[in-house]
Structure 1
């Protein structure tokens, strides 16, 4: 069983990517312990379990990703937290918190991400009783149809 989480950092700000890098750098030695012991299930190896509970640092991620779109990072962050909790619960150990790592020079927290503004749609009724929607996406038309 691999305890590493495969990450997709596409579209994340440099600050958010740094938060995930802090996690990856702290998680790698723990993942190597599991491989080195050749135990197929990480939940039976107390040394790697202790490493995950005390050394893995995911605490910078929500701080540095807070201004990025949540759909780009929250699911991955949640998977990290759940995986670590499962391991620490099995080991009957508390998850150690870590101070937020300072951003390297040249990287700053971006402004909050703003979703694109919705386009306005003009809804009119046709002579045959149908509905015409100008300037609307297909999803908007479907949503109006379902109302």
Structure 2
């Protein structure tokens, strides 16, 4: 019991630290160039907030979404391609961060599975109706 009480502050401290940090400079400030801001905004609407999970980072007020917006704007301002930024975010946070699904070694069963099930159902129906006729 004493060990649990002594470990508790160390377990809670990272949670409190995340929200007490000031927002990143470009979390809420747009880029001066409207063309670059439009590219950044387009990408931000295609990236999922990992904390909210139902909002894009463009719509979320979570601190993590602000940090992600900051990274997107900095990289766009540096001349990086939005697709390269998306790939970097997916490498860093996983495929789930992108609303645009991609076929990879971890997601291919999601694409192949329904096709296989339809083929099996079609084969079973064909065999069933072939016997009746």
Q: TM-score, normalising length from structure 2?
A: 0.27
Query: Which structure has more helix as a fraction of its residues?
Result: 2
TM-score scaled by structure 1? 0.25
